[in-house]
Amino acid sequence: MIDFEKINKLYTLGKQLTLSDVQVLFKSAKTKSYASGEHLIVEGETKRNVFLIRKGLVRAYKINEKGDEITTLIRWENKIVASPNIILFNEPSQLYFETLEPTEVFYIDYDVLQTIISSNPKLESNRKFILQNVLKETLQRIDSFILLTPEERYLDFRKQYPDIVNRVPNKFIANILGITPVSLSRIRKRIVTKKDKFY
């Protein structure tokens, strides 16, 4: 039986794709559910899966020399999750990808995906579109560290992802902003104080 919801999720990911374009992907994609705290990908893994989050929240993190987990990325509904080391460089993953909520995903082997994409110019165009967006996001993050104060970075993050701020623990947001949880708490208090003065 055809899962039209699954097709629709894949369809909304694309740019100028028809339903028939996406049906090829649909036939090869699989679904899986994860409980909160489970890993989609672990450090050292080489399995070449690409995930599309149907429902839930995923963080990517590294473990530093002190044994601390440093969150580098947060992904949520209709976002793609994949290890860049595996996909781009054919190397073991340097990151862990962990669910922060019960999470449902569609996933497909990257080599299968490559074969499908190479046979459809529209899908190839969409791959470039997605990669350009990933690159744009990375460059914007670099700029924010150079040009913005920690408070401005937090305000920008909250403006861009208002729903995510309330779903992600503060310590993970602090990691992404490049500050400590204590500093994030102080920033939030300053913002509240400024609002109280204004009103």
| Cβ contact 41:95 at 8 Å | yes
Domains of the chain: 4-120 (2.60.120.10)
| Residue labelled with tokens 């899962």 | 3
Question: How does pLDDT run across 64-115, given as a tens digit for each residue?
Answer: 999 999 999 999 998 889 998 998 888 999 999 999 999 999 999 988 888 8
Query: What is the reported pTM?
Result: 0.82
Three-state SS letters, 12-75: HHCCCCCHHHHHHHHHHCEEEEECCCCEEECCCCCCCEEEEEEECCEEEEEECCCCCEEEEEEE
Question: How does pLDDT run across 25-54, given as a tens digit for each residue?
Answer: 777 889 999 999 999 999 999 999 999 899
